[in-house]
Each structure stands twice: as C-alpha cells, then as structure tokens.
Chain A
Amino acid sequence: MQRLLLRLAKFSPLASVLLLTGCSGPFSMLDPAGPSAQMVVWLWWGMFWFSVVVMALLCWGWWVAMQRDGRDVPQEQAQRKLHRWVWLGGIGLPVLAITLLLAFGIPFGHRMLPHPDENVVRIDVEANQWFWRVTYPDHNIELIDTIVIPVSTPIDFRLSSTDVIHSFWVPRLGGKLDAIPGRTNVLRLQADEIDTYRGLCAEYCGTAHAFMKFEVSAVSEEDFAEWLEAQGADHE
C-alpha cells in the first residue's frame, strides 16, 4: 500500500500531500525509529495543534474586528479592553506557551544528551568533502558512508571534520550535530528497530553537498558482535 502511494506521489502532487498523513519517507523525522526522534515528534504534534488553535482564534478575532463598527466604544472602555487583551493574549498566552514548551522541551532535550552510560557504543565519524569516514575505536575497522550499529543500544557518534563544517543527521533516529574542524562533538542516537536508516549532511559544505549521504544499518546485538569480529579480523 505504502509503495503504491509512493509511486503515485511521483506523478501527482495531490497524492503526495495525502501521503503526508502517513508522514513516512526514508528521511522523514515524522516517522521516528529511535527515542530522540520519537520525543521530537511528540513535541512537534503538540506544538502544531497548539499553533492551529492560536491561529484559528486570531483569525476569528480579526474577521469579527473587520466586520464591526466599534467607533461608539468610549475611550476608557477601549483602554480597559486593550489591557485585558494585552494581559491575557499578549503576555498570558506566550507565557503559557513558553511554560508548556519548556516543561516538555527541557526534560526531553536533557534525555537526548550523551550522559555517561556503560552500554554505550562509541563510533568515530570523520566528515570530509564529501564523504564520511567511519571508524570503530578498539577495532581496526574503517567504513565509508556506511555505519553499522547494534539495535536498541545507545550509540555515541564522535564527530569531527578534516576540512569545512558538516552536519551529521539521521532524521529517523534524532537530531543533527555539526562536525567542526578542531573539535569533537558527541551525538547520542539509538535505533529501536532493525532496519537501514538514511542520513545526510545538513550543513552546506560545497558543490557535492547534495550527495553527501550515508546509511546506518541497525542489526541485532549478536549480528553486530559477529560483524565486528569478522571485519576486525579482515583488516588485521
């Protein structure tokens, strides 16, 4: 079914819009497959519906205001009305929205950070114009534009760059982080399902920026261990 829709989408913009109700796609952040991406999707839909309500109320207010003749409202009454609106809508509404956003956003953001964790797997990613060199510390493995990770395990990607600024992003797993010359940034991601996820460079990095993509294969923990051993052995 989904494939059919995808094929339709190629031909018809309308179908593509319909497809959005599914929100899927290899780079879709609305189709999460890891805890970080999942939390962002919750945030997004919460913010989206909140915004729709605010927008609808404001549009309604403008519509009414445009229709009516309020010139008979005396000045003091107009001032009082304004004060009420400013306190409720101008100050109250944003404060409420900000409080809600922070109440969810700060704990969520905190949980996405790379806190110390015994189970974490460390992978070094070095960005280059225009490819990703992936190495596994303690193993003599080097991959280009491909990453193999164990499923349901927190991964710390240690990002660096040899030339310009790039940005490492696997939309279905979580947010992006820049790879900057001279420093190492650590991005924590986790895949909840065995699958292959696509990633790309999000920061403009030169003419081949559009092609600087990579794949992340999440495999079972056993397969990962086996793979590590096999690959490591190959290189020795």
Chain B
Amino acid sequence: MTQNQLDGMAPEPKFLSQLLPGESATVLQLQATGAIRQRLLEMGFIRGATLKVEKLAPLGDPMELVLKGYHLSLRRDEGACILVVPIAATANSSVA
C-alpha cells in the first residue's frame, strides 16, 4: 500500500491509552473481558461512540475522558483494552 493510499483512508486504529490529551477518537472494539467489559459497555464505550482525552492526572495516570457529554477517568491499563480510531482534528478542519 502506498503512502497516497494511506492518506486517503481512515487513520490506523490504536489503543485509547496511546492518545494524547486533546485528541478525539471513536470506539472500534473492546478487548477487555468480564467485569471491566461490562462496566465499559454500560458507561457508553460502544462501537462508534466518540470520546476525547481531556487530560492526564498529575502523576500521568489515570486519564480523564469526555464521553456522551460526561467526564470519567480510566486507568491507562484499562485504556489499553479499548481499540479506537483517532479523529484527525486537522484533517477535519481542512475538509470543512
């Protein structure tokens, strides 16, 4: 696949824990199981949901997210179970 083809496609999926403060993404898949998966689902981490990383805690972990209009915090370990597709802010604005 050439670089040009890549540019025309959606960004590569990554794990939520890899996002930086200020970045947004949509949820692609939960790789967690058991109680954590259940909790993430009911808190709104479902396919297609949009979220934004608000900030990191002063010691670097956990992270604060905005999802469905409310704020929640998540340990980075837990963020590493959530596959997301980043929303490229600059690309969006250039299209608009």
A is bound by B: no
Taking Cβ atoms with an 8 Å cutoff, the residues of A that contact B are: none
